Amino acid sequence: MTEIKDLVKKLITASGLSGDEGPVREIIEEVWRPFTDELSVSKLGNLYGFRKGVGEEPRKSVLIATHMDAIGLIVSHVRDGLLRIDEIGGIDQRILPGQMVTVHTQGEDLPGMVVQPPAHTLPDEAQSGPVPLKYLFVDTGLTPRQVARKVRLGDLVSFATEPIEFEGDCLSGHSMDNRASVVALTEALKLLTKRQHQWDVWAVATAQEEETMGGALTSGYQLRPTLAVVIDVTHAKSPGTPEHLSFEMDKGPTLGWGPNTHPKLYEAFEDLAKELEIPYQREVYARSSGTDAWMLQVAVEGIPTMLLSIPLRYMHTPVELLHVKDIARTSRLLAEFITILDDEFLDKLNWEKTEE
Ligand SMILES: [Zn+2]
C-alpha cells in the first residue's frame, strides 16, 4: 500500500485545476511512461497513454478515463489588496473560511488564506449560517501595492491542505477526487505490464471534468474506443449520511448500474469481481452519474460504458478521505477486466439474446 499512498500524495500535492491541468499532467506523464508504449496530449489537455494489445488487427480498444482536474478557486476581483474569488467546479462553500490556499500568479506561488468579514459587517441575511462565497476573500498578507503588482484577475487558487495518513490505511487530502482514480488506473497499467491483453488500451487522464466534461467527450471522438470504463469517486458512509445514498469504505469500489452504464458490461464486472473475490458494491444511478461516463456513453455513435467509483468521504472539500485498499481493489479489478477482453467479448454486449 505504501507505493499507492506515496503516489496519491504526490498527485494531490500538484495543482491542476479544471482547464489548467498542466502541472499534474506532467507528473502523470512521467509516471505512466514506463507502463505505456506511447504518450500524447490532446488539444483540450487530456493525457493519452497507449498500450498495444497482442490480438490480431484490426484490434479493438478499451478506453479508461480518470479525470485529473481538481476543484479550486479563481481570482475574480481585487480590492484593497484582498482577492475576491469564484469557484472552479462545485466547492462545498461551508468549509471555505479558514482554509489555507496557494495563489498561482504568473511569477510565483503565494500563500494565502480564505477569510470572512466579521458577521456584524455583513448584510442581515448573511449574518447567520455559512457565509456565501460572494462575501469571502483571500488574504495573502501582502500590501495592496504588492498584490496589484503580482496578482492578475483569473489567477487560480488551489487548496494547500497537506495530505494526512491515518491509522488503518486511510488517507485524507484535497483533490482525492479524482487523483485517487488516476492512481488506480496507474496501478492497473503497472499490473498489465506482467499480463497479456488482446485489446489495445487507452489510459486517459481527462481534463475539465469538473467544469465541462469536455475532456471525456473529445477523447471518445478522437480515440473511438470499442468500450469505455470510467473511474471516479462516490460518497462514502459517515455518521449521518443517508443509508441509501452512501457506500462503505474498505468494501471495494462501487459498480455503477442504471441508464448511464451498459447492463451487460456491469454484469461482466460483477461476474469477474465475484470470481476473483474482490469486494464490490452496487451503486444505482437513476439518472446522469455526473461523471465522464455521461459524456463517453454518448460520444461518436455511442460507446458501451461502465463506471467504477471509489467510496470517499467529504467530497469536494479540502479534507476528502478514503481507504487506500479500495484503490488497490479497483486497479486489480480493472486490470483483470482488460485481460479477459477477447474477440468474443462484444457478443456478450448484444441487446438481443442470441439463441443457438
Ligand atoms: Zn470526480
What whole-number percentage of the chain has pLDDT above 70?
99
Strand partners for 38: 50
Mean predicted lDDT score pLDDT of the chain = 95
158: exposed, middle or buried (C-beta count within 10 Å: 0-12, 13-18, 19+)? buried
Q: Check whether 352 has a pLDDT greater than 80.
A: no
What's the CA-to-centroid distance between 338 and ligand 1, angstroms? 22
> pTM for the full model?
0.96
What's the CA-to-centroid distance between 288 and ligand 1, angstroms? 13
What's the CA-to-centroid distance between 181 and ligand 1, angstroms? 9
Q: Check whether 88 has a pLDDT greater than 70.
A: yes
User: Which helix or strand (DSSP H or E) is residue 38 part of?
Assistant: strand 38-41
Task: Look at residues 156, 129, 2, 151 and name the one whose alpha carbon lies nearest to residue 69.
Answer: 156
Residue-wise pLDDT for 175-193, tens only, equals: 999 999 999 999 999 999 9
What's the CA-to-centroid distance between 172 and ligand 1, angstroms? 15
- Which residues fall within 8 angstroms of residue 135, CB to CB, at 6 or more apart? 116, 117, 122, 126
Query: In which band, very low, low, confident or very high, does the pLDDT at 354 lie, cut at 50, 70 and 90?
Result: low
What's the CA-to-centroid distance between 93 and ligand 1, angstroms? 17
**Ligand 1 ion local residues (Cβ < 5 A):** 177-178, 232
Residue-wise pLDDT for 243-300, tens only, equals: 888 999 999 999 999 999 999 999 999 999 999 999 999 999 999 999 999 999 999 9
Residue-wise pLDDT for 92-146, tens only, equals: 889 999 999 999 999 899 999 999 988 899 988 888 889 999 999 999 999 999 9
Q: Name residue 21's amino acid.
A: E
What's the CA-to-centroid distance between 67 and ligand 1, angstroms? 7
Question: Maximum Cα–Cα distance for the chain, whole Å?
Answer: 79
Q: Check whether 353 has a pLDDT greater than 80.
A: no
What's the CA-to-centroid distance between 204 and ligand 1, angstroms? 14
CA angle 218, 232, 250 (to 5 degrees): 165
